[in-house]
Amino acid sequence: MADKQDDFSSLYSDDEILDDDDDDSYETIPNNGGSWQDYGLSTLKDSVYLPAIGKRQSALGKEGNSAPQLTPVIKMGWLDKNPPQGSLIYQKRWVKLDADFLRYFDNDKDMYSKRIIPTTSITNITNVGDQKFEVVTHNRTFVFRADSDFERTEWVTVLQETIRDQKYTHKDLSGQHLHGAAEMQGYLELRGLRSKLYVVVSGDKVLLYKNMEDYKLGIGITSIDMNVGNVKDADRRAFDLTTPYRTFSFVAESDQQKDEWVEAMQNSIGEALSNYEVAEKIWVDEFNQFCADCGAAKPEWAAINLCVVFCKRCAGEHRGLGPSISKVRSLKMDKKVWTDELIQLFQVLGNRGSNTFWAANVPPSEALSPASCSSDRRRFIAAKYREGKYRRYHQLFGNQEALDNALCINIQSNDVLETLSLVFCGANVNCDTGNPDFPTPISLAQSYEQHLQVEFLTQNKNTEIPRSEVGGHMDTVHYMAPPSITHNGFLYKTASMGKPITERRAKEEFSRRWCTLNDGNFNYYESDRNSTPNGGLKMKEIVCLVVNPLETHGYDHTFEIYTDSERLYLFGTDSPDVMREWVKSIAKSFIPSSAEDLLNRDFERIGKLQYKDGLNLQSPKVGWFSLVGSTLYACFEDSEGEEAIHLKKLQELSIQQENEVLVLVERRRTLYIQGNRKLDYLTWSTAIQRAAGSSGDTLSQQQLTESDIPVIVDRCIDYITQCGLTSEGIYRKSGVNSKIATLLESFRRDARSVRLKEGEHQVDDVSNVLKRFFRDVKEGIFTSEASAAWLSTSAIADESQKILNYQSLLSSLPRVNKATVRALVNHLYCVQRFADMNQMNLHNLAIVFGPTLFQTDGKDYNAGRVIEELIGHYVAIFNVNEQQLKKQLDEITAIIKLREINSSSKVPPAGDFICTVYLEEKKETAEQHVKIPATMTAAELALEILDRRKISVREKDYWCCFEVNEKEETERPLHYQEKVLPILHSMGTESCLVVKKHYSMEAMLIYLASKVDDSKHGMMKFREERNLLGLGLNTGSFHDRYFILTSTSLRLYKEVRSLQKLQIPELQCSHRPEKEWPVRSLKVYQGIKKKLRPPTCWGLTVVYANEKHEKQHWYLCCDTQTEMREWFATFLSIQNDGNVWPSETIKMRASRVPLDTRLGNISLIPLRGSENEMRNSVAAFAADPLALFRDL
Ligand SMILES: [Zn+2]
């Protein structure tokens, strides 16, 4: 037994390992947390086992409630650690093991360890005599000594099991690693410590390492969970990270760095808190604070169908059951899954309720404890949920009809526990309720507004109920594929084919076959007595399953199967039940568990497709999709859960590359679906296009905007607002009939693709399209059911009662109708506000729109009155924010003013507009407002600005127009021939144009003149932007890469050494590059934003933008300015075919188009950007409409 080292101020270094003689000065930090010093007093000598059942909290001590360490501890106890080099004294350490980390502490009260070793980095555990054992990692070996052989054996066994588990554990479950993506990292001084520490802010943790080498090895000192952290400013360069257990006082190298550290740590706290948002809500019930299966504290995982929460180790076993039994989700990571209803369900049911069912009869000998080994867990969890061994049997168990009946009655109440017990005793979630209006239990529960029942039923639509006959054979398989599906029966089948089916197949074309689905194989036989199949296919070959509409073919119910090898199989039956069973079984057997959510709905088609999206346009990925009505559900690679794409709300849907790519543009993303196989892709493409179009004549069947307004309505209102508010008799005049019909027809065909343009479309035609649309829309905007109620409301005498009535009628309209009424009345309100110009006052509008909207013949006077009142009481009825309304009216006034200026100039509107350009730097006094015609080049713009300021261009002055992006801290000199207008259109609000001298131009021209060819290669430091979830969080760091820039592409190589041996660029090219970009699609900017911590200040930011204006960023950093200049010059030269600068300045001037200095030619809405940005710029006009013209 070694002496206890309790001399705290000792200069003994806690020399970590045999081969490491670092002075571990961290251990001499004076403590300011309280518990730091009293470690030596502990008398607890033996290692602590977590008790088997109950009272975990007290045994865990501080681990119980507020501890930041949430992964359950597997084993902890005192061990002696090998003495540091040059010493013989063993050091007593409190050692703790959980699934993720092995760590040791000075004493059993410390919150922060002296060492933290990820279990993933442990390669071996070996006995080494003398009650000692070694923990071997890739680079280091830690030696511990136990008090007894027994103790030693225990530790070795538990450690070995943990690292074995860690290897098997699904990667989804191995949440935290020391080596996460770092938000910020670097050396920081920790007050009271002799040497600096390497500090890493990563996700919701801050990690301390002795130095960068240790960081790279993954062996840290301690990790600080930021959900209990707080960052405070201290004096000068110092700041404090405070936790309930300790304060870490850091000192940064500079003020700026301090700010960056504080910001990074605050972000980390934010992330930690948001990570725990769901967990905190669910843990409100104390039963949810402990694993439903083993009792470990603070469980972070849940089975959303079984309604239980459990620890990470049990989660691994739940996964093993397969998603049809347990749908495992993380409380921390799967935030999207956790809707309010689901959280509520867990608060109401959760472990407290669910275990009264699932664990009603657990024999104490079979119960788990937090320390149970994996095989015990596996056995218990399979028995509990797969076999239902411990469940409380419902009294109706075994009587299917009675169970189903009881379910249909019970879901009308709020007793979800009873529903759980019915369902898991066999009641059919999809049974027939016998109620034609609400045929399924889910729809029935919905009609009773039992949202928790709906949630529970929805989660269990495809759950396999416990079957006690499947006994313990599961022990051998840890992670398994989805459970094998077995199904058989008679189906009618046609011969397989290689083309889409375009014609109706009569019954005669089908032959009756006995079909079996077993072990992932589908076979069909002449009859059920044959033993040799006529043919078959493997489930894994299936790429798509399509359910045809009723009566498509001779058999009422038919479905199609598409295979990898481009074959199509058509099956039919007359029985809807037979059909449903087959479709369900087949889908279940080829859809992977990662896409299981797709099975929850009655899909029209389901299958896999290749796709690309904004963040990755290089290589396609495989996604799983299902089409349900007008919604495309997708399970993308690398993302949890499914996403819904509302096809009717797409901004654009187009087909590119000769029908091989389907492009879906949503507000936040563009998705490219590719046809790597023709057969199934073609049918997908057709189905998606059909679903994205208008599917009928009611409002909600139209293509919709984000805010649920039919696109046709939105486009017309917009156009009238822009061009028609001053038009006399708007909405009253009739327009040209044939034009109206044509326009309406093209809106009906594909509203999304119709762009209304002044000059091309007449105001009166558009206004009549809108009226005609409303007149014809099926059910009317107020719905045929409610229109009588609307009409009678106008007769109510009491004003306030009348308004209340309108409000209540409004709120009971369907979503799309409500949004449309609101948008239309808002529009009409605006129209009548400008009645002095358009002559359409309240009354006139009401006369026109009353019969139109109520679809009456104009004899019912009430129709007009309703419209008059809706407009008249617009603010009150629709609860309008008056400030916003004023802003809107101001915008309209600005538009009208601009139009007046426009028409007075007598020049037809052209495509040019006015923008702000700065001279030399971006400041107010340097502002110039310039009208930019579509033809204007960068050189012309520069000269225009110089002319105005009477600046003469001297020789060797390289005046140039720069696109300056302040946010990215980058700039790009525009090429002199570049057209300015498209640049302005593509620029975000953070960018501006600055005309200034290009000081490196001369050096670049000299360099280019000396070059033989148009290529360049060499080392640069490279960093890629990993835009996580589109949140713009930057991660990663700079690494050396070898670049080759040729006239066609920029290539990047990882293998520097092998390449450098090959001196000839052509040969180098034959190696496979790590990345490759077409050089002409790249925009190269000078500069890299400081936040990314570029290693030198000579950096380039390379933006790759595709035709959809989605951008990817790469950062290249050079060692010297010359080098950067040379790279930049080479890019310029290649992109402009060697023509980098005009040979004579004079020529440039001569080619200039004489500029029109009149006030006209202003485009109606200033340029670029989203609708909002445009609104803002209109608003800016409104605030000071003359601002733009001041310098003209
Ligand atoms: Zn557990």
- Residue type, position 915, single letter: C
Distance (Å) from CA 418 to ligand 1 centroid? 25
1006 in Cβ contact with 1031 (< 8 Å): no
Distance (Å) from CA 351 to ligand 1 centroid? 12
Q: Encoding tokens for residue 140?
A: 């280091």
Band (192; pLDDT cuts 50, 70, 90): confident
The stretch 680-705 carries a mean pLDDT of: 87
Dihedral (C-alpha) 552, 553, 556, 562: value to the nearest 10 degrees?
-80
Distance (Å) from CA 142 to ligand 1 centroid? 29
Distance (Å) from CA 408 to ligand 1 centroid? 34
* CB-based burial, 435-456: b 16+ in 10 Å, e otherwise: eeebebbbebbbeeebbbbbbb
Query: What are the strands, taking DSSP E only, across 219-314?
Result: 222-225, 230-233, 238-242, 247-251, 301-303, 308-310
With a CB cutoff of 8 Å and minimum separation 6, the contacts of 441 are 407, 408, 411, 429, 430, 431, 433, 457
Distance (Å) from CA 57 to ligand 1 centroid? 15
What is the C-alpha to C-alpha distance for residues 118 and 120, in angstroms, rounded to an integer?
Answer: 5
589 in Cβ contact with 484 (< 8 Å): yes
CA nearest 841: which of 864, 817, 810, 818?
864
Distance (Å) from CA 725 to ligand 1 centroid? 67
Query: How does strand 991-997 pair with strand 913-919?
Result: parallel
Q: Encoding tokens for residue 901?
A: 């200026």
Distance (Å) from CA 452 to ligand 1 centroid? 26
Distance (Å) from CA 377 to ligand 1 centroid? 8
Lowest mean pLDDT among 36-45, 497-506, 877-886, 1007-1016: 36-45
Distance (Å) from CA 370 to ligand 1 centroid? 6
Band (1156; pLDDT cuts 50, 70, 90): very low
Distance (Å) from CA 153 to ligand 1 centroid? 24
> What percent of the residues of the chain are helix, what percent strand, and what percent coil, each to the nearest 5?
35, 20, 40
pLDDT digits (tens, 9 = 90+) for 472-488: 333 333 333 344 567 88
The stretch 574-587 carries a mean pLDDT of: 90
Lowest mean pLDDT among 154-168, 172-186, 1146-1160, 1169-1183: 1146-1160
Distance (Å) from CA 228 to ligand 1 centroid? 24
**Per-residue confidence (pLDDT) for residue 709, from 0 to 100:** 92
The stretch 1060-1089 carries a mean pLDDT of: 70
**Per-residue confidence (pLDDT) for residue 805, from 0 to 100:** 93
Distance (Å) from CA 311 to ligand 1 centroid? 4
* Top mean-pLDDT range of 263-277, 446-460, 990-1004, 1053-1067: 446-460
Distance (Å) from CA 1015 to ligand 1 centroid? 60
Distance (Å) from CA 237 to ligand 1 centroid? 45
What is the C-alpha to C-alpha distance for residues 823 and 713, in angstroms, rounded to an integer?
Answer: 9
* CB-based burial, 244-273: b 16+ in 10 Å, e otherwise: ebbbbbbbbeeeebbebbbebbebbbebbe
CA nearest 245: which of 32, 495, 556, 543?
32
Distance (Å) from CA 1066 to ligand 1 centroid? 59
Distance (Å) from CA 299 to ligand 1 centroid? 7
Distance (Å) from CA 596 to ligand 1 centroid? 24
208 in Cβ contact with 243 (< 8 Å): no
pLDDT digits (tens, 9 = 90+) for 601-643: 889 999 999 888 755 555 778 899 999 988 999 988 777 778 8
| 277 pLDDT higher than 50 | yes
What is the C-alpha to C-alpha distance for residues 144 and 164, in angstroms, rounded to an integer?
Answer: 20
Q: Encoding tokens for residue 1176?
A: 């803002």
Distance (Å) from CA 775 to ligand 1 centroid? 62
994 in Cβ contact with 1015 (< 8 Å): no
What is the C-alpha to C-alpha distance for residues 104 and 590, in angstroms, rounded to an integer?
Answer: 47
Distance (Å) from CA 297 to ligand 1 centroid? 8
Distance (Å) from CA 358 to ligand 1 centroid? 15
Distance (Å) from CA 845 to ligand 1 centroid? 68
pLDDT digits (tens, 9 = 90+) for 755-774: 888 778 899 999 999 999 99
**Per-residue confidence (pLDDT) for residue 659, from 0 to 100:** 63
Distance (Å) from CA 77 to ligand 1 centroid? 21
Distance (Å) from CA 334 to ligand 1 centroid? 19
Distance (Å) from CA 468 to ligand 1 centroid? 22
115 in Cβ contact with 16 (< 8 Å): yes
Distance (Å) from CA 55 to ligand 1 centroid? 15
Distance (Å) from CA 385 to ligand 1 centroid? 14
| 73 pLDDT higher than 80 | no
Distance (Å) from CA 293 to ligand 1 centroid? 5
Q: Phi and psi of 511, rounded to 5°?
A: -120, 145
Query: How does strand 487-493 pair with strand 511-518?
Result: antiparallel
CA 74, distance to chain mean position in Å, is 34
Distance (Å) from CA 316 to ligand 1 centroid? 9
Positive or negative, the Cα torsion across 380, 381, 385, 386?
negative
The stretch 1009-1031 carries a mean pLDDT of: 72
pLDDT digits (tens, 9 = 90+) for 109-144: 888 888 888 888 888 888 887 888 989 887 788 889
Q: Is 511 helix (H, G, I), strand (E, B) or coil?
A: strand
Q: Encoding tokens for residue 907?
A: 């020049």
- Which is more confidently placed, 982 or 957? 957
pLDDT digits (tens, 9 = 90+) for 844-884: 999 899 999 999 876 778 899 999 999 999 999 999 988 88
497 in Cβ contact with 679 (< 8 Å): no
Distance (Å) from CA 378 to ligand 1 centroid? 11
What is the C-alpha to C-alpha distance for residues 331 and 175, in angstroms, rounded to an integer?
Answer: 12
What is the C-alpha to C-alpha distance for residues 895 and 977, in angstroms, rounded to an integer?
Answer: 33
Distance (Å) from CA 44 to ligand 1 centroid? 26
pLDDT digits (tens, 9 = 90+) for 763-813: 999 999 999 999 999 989 999 899 999 999 988 989 999 999 999 999 999
**Per-residue confidence (pLDDT) for residue 123, from 0 to 100:** 83
Which parts of 325-415 fold into alpha helices (H)?
340-348, 350-358, 374-381, 400-410
